[in-house]
Amino acid sequence: MIKAVTGTKDILPQEISRWKYLEDLVRQIFSSFNYKEIRTPVFEETILFARGIGEETDIVGKEMYTFNDKSNTSLTLKPEMTASVVRAFIEHSLGKQQPLNKFYYISPMFRQERPQAGRQRQFHQFGCEALGSTSPLLDAEIIIAAYEILNRLNLKDLKVKINSLGVPESREAYKNILKRHLEVKKHLLSEDSRKRFDKNILRIFDSKVESDQEIIDNAPKLIDYIDEESRKDFEIVKELLSKNNIPFEVDAKLVRGLDYYTKTTFEIISGKVGSQSALCGGGRYDLLIEQLGGAPTPGVGFAAGIERILLACENEKTLLLPEERIDLYIVRMDSELTQKTFELASYFRKESLKVEIDYLDRSVKAQMREANKLNAQFVLFVGGEEYKSNKFNLKFMKTGEQKDYPVDNAGEIKSFILQNISI
Ligand code: HAM
């Protein structure tokens, strides 16, 4: 049997209503903040992500699906959207059309990580990117939007963590301070952290190894060394979050796994999804656009993992959607009325009703069973004694009430259904 590739999952019809509910909510919230949808290709030239996300990151170093196409161009399935959105922004000169561009997206992403609950190789993100302003109002806005989406899903066990990484100059100065502090303890660090010490020292803060924790906890914190402007902006972000009743905590260890961040970074964590607890993450990236060849333009954004959010909803039993139903099931009582039934179904479907008929030559009893299984709100009986006297019989399933209608007046049936249907 050919199976789905490790780390990928089918989303089956019975799960789709939850996905659609979340996607509709995302669209509704982003459009209330005036973000416009953007869609970019699934693959890009590899260099975009290598340059954008950073050569030394886990994503670029270990996790990308990279391949050469037949013309020997190195391509990569997108592991995240920020670099792609920035590429599109530069390519189409969108900054020239208006000074501030606010985008949102819902899209599959690809990272070759070790699969586990809440971690896949093809997963889905929704997110947003606001390009063109350094205002900390936007940092607060995206955190509020992210929190609002999770809140509307009734997720309870949420933690918003924020930090500021400052500008590269203050960060470089801090890295030297950190290096000096950790130098003497380097031999006590885990192997992974020792590697990070040489390559990307800030990532040591991401270590989950217990023996690293104590060393990290006692190390100087970046937030105490950031530049004045970053500090001021961070204060404004915190004030705005408080005023908007967003419960948050400053986490000086939140460094994020992508290299493009400056100033504010944040994550929202759920206590209900196990080890893969980050539902979303993001922050400011004021230098990325020029790094990718555009005119200097500040940016800020976040992305959230749809699978993880749905997992949290499942674990907290928050997303209880009504059972799916159809409007009308047409029961064919005599086999010679098959075409008539088909015609009627076409008529009601054109009136935008959700209609089903039998295609398996089932008995009347089996058709009724099917109507019940599909939660049909109405059943129309075509055939039998009524049909001999030129009538159809319509049953309103909620009340059990039944009524005859002349066969040449399907319009009357439609009106009755439309008046009584619950959406
Ligand atoms: P990220 O933290 O790498 O950030 O990913 C954002 C979210 O995507 C994570 O919090 C998680 O929920 C989800 N996610 C990541 N990897 C996986 C996976 N393998 N399986 C399932 N879910 C996953 C970014 O991608 C940045 N582009 C966010 C951003 C936008 N920063 C600024 N703008």
**CA distance linking residue 31 with residue 35, whole number of Å:** 5
Tens digit of each residue's pLDDT (9 = 90 or more) over 262-316 = 999 999 999 877 777 899 999 999 999 999 999 999 999 999 999 999 999 999 9
Q: Identity (one letter) of the amino acid at 336?
A: E
Give the residue from 292, 316, 340 where a domain finishes: 316
Q: What is the pLDDT of residues 295-308, one digit of tens each?
A: 999 999 999 999 99
Our mutation pick for probing the ligand 1 site, out of 5, 60, 80, counting the most ligand atoms within 8 A of Cβ, is: 80
Residues 267 and 354 in one domain: no
- Same domain for 132 and 49, yes or no, is yes
Give the per-residue pLDDT at 56: 84
Look at the block and give the residue holding tokens 């996607």. Answer: 23
Q: Would 180 be classed as within a structural domain?
A: no
Residue 266 phi/psi, 5-degree rounding, is -155, 160
Q: For residue 348, what is the enclosing H or E element?
A: helix 338-350
Residue 323 resides in a domain: no
What is the pLDDT, as a whole number, of residue 229?
96
Give the lowest-confidence range in 110-124, 205-219, 347-361.
205-219
The CATH number covering residue 89 comes to 3.30.930.10
Q: Is residue 411 part of a domain?
A: yes
**Boundary-marking domain end, from 280, 295, 316:** 316
As given in the structure block, the two tokens for residue 2 are: 């050919």
Taking Cα atoms as reference points, which of 43, 1, 60, 312 lies closest to residue 200?
A: 60
189: helix, strand or coil: coil
How much is the pLDDT for 213? 87
Same domain, 277 and 410: no
**Which ligand 1 atom is the nearest neighbour of the CA of 111?**
19
Mean pLDDT of 361-373: 97
Range of the domain at 163: 13-167+226-316
Cα 350 to its chain centre, rounded Å, is: 33
Total domains, the chain: 2
pTM of the model: 0.94
Q: Is residue 211 part of a domain?
A: no
Query: In terms of domains, do 262 and 386 share one?
Result: no
**pLDDT tens digits along 99-126:** 999 999 999 999 999 999 999 999 999 9
129 pLDDT more than 80 = yes
**Which is it for the CA torsion 89, 24, 44, 280, positive or negative?**
positive
Q: Is residue 198 part of a domain?
A: no
Q: Is the CB of 270 under 6 A from ligand 1?
A: no
Choose the final residue of a domain: 272, 289, 316. 316
Is any ligand 1 atom within 6 A of the Cβ of residue 206?
A: no
Q: Is residue 209 part of a domain?
A: no
The protein residue whose alpha carbon is closest to atom 15 in ligand 1 is: 305
Do residues 347 and 410 lie in contact, with contact meaning Cβ atoms separated by under 8 Å? yes
* DSSP for 39-69, written as a single string: ---SEEEHHHHHHHH-TTSHIIIII--EEE-
DSSP 207-244: ---HHHHHHHHTSPPGGGG--HHHHHHHHHHHHHHHHT
Of ligand 1's atoms, which has the minimum distance to the CA of residue 82? 27
pLDDT confidence tier of residue 228, bands split at 50, 70 and 90? very high
